[in-house]
Amino acid sequence: MLTEDQKHIRTGKFTGSEIYKIMGAKGMGKTGETYVFEKVSEFLTGLPANPEFKSVATDWGNEHESEAADYLCSATGIKIKELGTIHNDDICGTPDRIEENDMFGIEIKCPYNISNHLKNLCLEKHADLLDLHPEYYWQIVTYSWLTKIEHWKFVSYDPRFKEEKRMFVLNFMVTEKDITPLKNRIIEAKLMFKNIISKL
The pLDDT value recorded for residue 102 is: 96
What is the dihedral angle through the alpha carbons of 151, 160, 18, 177, rounded to the nearest 10 degrees?
A: 30
The pLDDT value recorded for residue 138 is: 98
The pLDDT value recorded for residue 54 is: 75
The pLDDT value recorded for residue 77 is: 97
The pLDDT value recorded for residue 121 is: 98
User: What is the residue-level pLDDT of the chain in tens, covering all 200 positions?
Assistant: 667 777 777 888 999 999 999 999 899 999 999 999 999 999 999 998 877 667 899 999 999 999 999 999 999 999 999 998 999 888 999 999 999 999 999 999 999 999 999 999 999 998 999 999 999 999 999 999 999 999 999 999 999 999 999 999 999 999 999 999 999 999 999 999 999 999 99
pTM for the whole structure: 0.94
The pLDDT value recorded for residue 1 is: 63
Provide the residue ranges of all domains of the chain, joining segments of one domain with +. 4-198
Structural fold of domain 4-198: Lambda Exonuclease; Chain A (3.90.320)
